Every structure is written in C-alpha cells, then in structure tokens.
Amino acid sequence: MTHLLHIDSSIQGDQSVSRKLTARAANAWRAAHPGGTVTYRDLGNDPLPHLDDAGGAARMLPPDQHTPAQAASWALTEQVIGEVKRADAVLLGLPLYNFGPPSSVKSWVDYLIAGGLSFDPETGSGLLGGREFIVLASRGGGYGAGTPRHGWDHAEPWLPHGVSMTGLQPRFITAELTLAAANPAMSALVPLAEESLSAAEREIDGLWSKTSVPA
C-alpha cells in the first residue's frame, strides 16, 4: 500500500498559501493512489522541541547508555525518521519567514539527521533516498534574479543542503508575491502573484496525473 507523509509548517492558519498548496497536492496524490494512506504532521501547530544538550548527546552515545532525557529525544528522532521511511512521497509546506525557513522546519531537519537511522555513519550514504520529496514553498515577496531582494531567500537554497546527508532530494514548487493582494505598496504586482500561484497549482495538478499506482 502506498503512503504519503504530509507536513505543514505555516503559522498563518487558513490564510496560509503553503497550507493550501500542500492540501491541493495531498488531494492530487490521493486521487492518483486510491486506497493509499496518509500521515499528517503539523509543525506550525505542534512543533518539535528544539534539540538541546540531551538531544545532542543522544546522537553521540549508544542507546543503552542514554539517560531518560536522552532516550526521550532519541525516541522522537526514531518517530520522525520512521514517518519518512514509511512514506513513498513526502509533502512539505515551506513558507519564508524573515528570509529563512520556519524554525519548526529547521528542528524537523535536525531530528532527521541521525547516524544509523537516516545515514550510514561508516559510508556517509543516505538511507532516506528513493522517495519523492515535494516542497511547496511560498514567499510573500519576489526573490528572483533581477529583483531587489534576489538572494535574500535563505529557505529554498538551504533545505537541499540540510537534508543532503539523508539522501532526500527536494523538488520545489513555489508561489511568490503572495502578499501582493494585501499590501497596497505591492498592488501593481497582483497579476504576477496570480500568475505565480496559477503556475504552482498547475505543476501540482500534474505531479501524479499520469502515474496512478494501485494501492
């Protein structure tokens, strides 16, 4: 049976563009995989704790030497990585906050990096490759080449490096200028924002349109 891991991270609730994009993608996946199952994790409403000294030490010691705090952190690591291992496809909503990823996404990535679980510590090879990793990104402004803030997006360039040890390879689908309709100073950019959103939706709709797989 095919399985999807659907992850949101926006703190904007129903106003979130990235949540709308991941929901659209999850619906497209379900349509292409009748009978498939879905695990949902909401990092925006239920964030993982940031790694502390116990969590860091848990990655340096054998499990049979863990303190109770280290064991709890390691158990959460096993849970997070297990969710990815069970999935044939992973959807991640990635809004841009203060020119970087949400801290909750950084924590999720930190929990993914664990020797013996997500990568082989002897060879360095990733253990989570071979599955789709679709990232639905949203940006309030424009950060493309030639714009005043080209290069200010530190979320999309970071993520491939952040998960590189695991073997995951993200494919980005991005909608930008999402604040144009709400910001009078950006009113002239509304047509470009609508075009960007429509392009992202079309790409999402085509993700699995020709690859329906029996569950």
The answer to whether position 211 is within a domain reads no
CA–CA separation, 133 and 5 (whole Å): 9
Average pLDDT of the residues in 65-73: 95
pLDDT at residue 209, as a whole number? 87
Q: What is the pLDDT of residue 1?
A: 81
In a domain, 214, yes or no: no
Q: What CATH number is associated with residue 81?
A: 3.40.50.360
Is residue 125 domain-resident? yes
End-to-end CA distance of the chain: 5
Q: Is residue 94 part of a domain?
A: yes
Average pLDDT over residues 176-180: 96
What is the average per-residue pLDDT within 20-33?
A: 98
Domain contains 27 = yes
DSSP for 88-130? SEEEEEEE-BTTB--HHHHHHHHHH--BTTTB-TTT--BSS-S
Which pair of tokens denotes residue 8?
A: 């949101």
- Domains: count for the chain: 1
Strands (DSSP E) contained in the chain are 3-8, 37-42, 89-95, 132-139, 171-176
* Predicted pLDDT of residue 215: 38
Q: Which pLDDT does position 214 carry in this prediction?
A: 41
In a domain, 102, yes or no: yes
Q: Is the pLDDT of residue 13 over 50?
A: yes
> Which pLDDT band, with edges at 50, 70 and 90, does 211 fall under?
low
Domain membership flag for residue 117: yes
pLDDT in tens, 77-89: 999 999 999 999 9
- Indicate whether 131 pLDDT > 70: yes
Q: Assess if residue 215 is contained within a domain.
A: no
Residue owning tokens 């029996």: 214
Six token digits for residue 58 = 């848990």
Domain holding 114, by residue range, is: 3-205
The predicted-structure confidence for 40-52, as pLDDT tens digits, reads as follows 999 999 999 999 9
pTM over 0.85: yes
